[in-house]
Copies of this chain bind each other. A is one copy, B any other.
Amino acid sequence: MIQKETAKERILRVASQLFYLEGVRAVGIDRIIAESGVAKASFYRNFKTKDELVGAYLNLRNMDSLSGIEATKERYPDEPAKQLYGIIERLVSQMREPGFRGCPFINVLVEFPDSAHENHQEAMQCRVEQEREVALIARQAGARSPEVLAAQLKMLYGGAFIEAYTNKSTLNTEYFYEAAKLLIEAQLPAKPSCIE
């Protein structure tokens, strides 16, 4: 028999969509309850507070991101340079999706400006983990300063996500790709680009 979706799973799935599309603060518990067809009591049996649900949402998005990076690594085994470009390409295609609404972690960071807030800290942690993964690949690819490259790509991608979110023109994704390429090429052991 096919396992039916539990109330908890349904809540998390619906909340994840709503939080991402409309913002965490803008979406209330009542809305989540209504759209997931769950009773309020069931909600609070599965999640102690709304913040706990937000934590689960962040965790879900983080797993998605990390497994996306993992998939890219497996696609180009032992070719870390290609892995880097693959990650950038994956970001580009994300930005072009219709439901794209920026980086969920940045959004939560801005929605909860208090750096002591648990959601703020969790979102920050997610970004750190991603950066660490990229730095690792950059190191394997022979980047001169892998941490610097990872930090620079993180900045560029953060801003690009905001741009892609507020301006649907695909031009920006191309500009993003070109800029990322420049940053990567400046760090990788040069294929001699001056000779041509």
Q: Which of A101, A157, A158, A171 gathers the greatest number of chain B CB atoms within 10 Å?
A: A158
At the interface, yes or no: A34 with Cβ under 8 Å from chain B? no
A155 to chain B, nearest CB (A): 4
Considering only residues 94-109 of chain A, those with a C-beta below 8 Å from chain B are: 101-102, 106-107, 109
What's the Cα separation between A182 and B167 when bound, in Å? 25
Which residues of chain B are near A182, meaning CB under 8 Å?
182-183, 186
At the interface, yes or no: A154 with Cβ under 8 Å from chain B? yes
Considering only residues 139-163 of chain A, those with a C-beta below 8 Å from chain B are: 148, 151-152, 154-160, 162-163
Task: Say whether, besides A102-B110, A110-B106, A156-B156, A151 and B163 are in contact (CB < 8 Å).
Answer: yes
A178 adjacent to B152 (CB under 8 Å) = yes
A159 adjacent to B148 (CB under 8 Å) = no
Oligomeric state, in copies: 2
B194 adjacent to A183 (CB under 8 Å) = no
Which residues of chain B are near A77, meaning CB under 8 Å?
none
Which residues of chain B are near A59, meaning CB under 8 Å?
none
B163 adjacent to A179 (CB under 8 Å) = no
What's the Cα separation between A175 and B152 when bound, in Å? 6
A155 adjacent to B183 (CB under 8 Å) = no
A113 adjacent to B172 (CB under 8 Å) = no
What's the Cα separation between A178 and B148 when bound, in Å? 10
Q: Using a CB–CB distance below 8 Å, which chain A residues touch chain B?
A: 21-23, 25-26, 101-102, 106-107, 109-111, 113-115, 124, 127, 148, 151-152, 154-160, 162-163, 165-167, 171-172, 175-176, 178-179, 182-183, 186, 194
- 17 contacts across the A-B interface (CB closer than 8 A): A23-B110, A23-B111, A23-B113, A25-B25, A25-B111, A106-B110, A111-B111, A148-B175, A148-B178, A151-B172, A152-B178, A155-B162, A155-B172, A156-B159, A157-B159, A158-B159, A158-B163
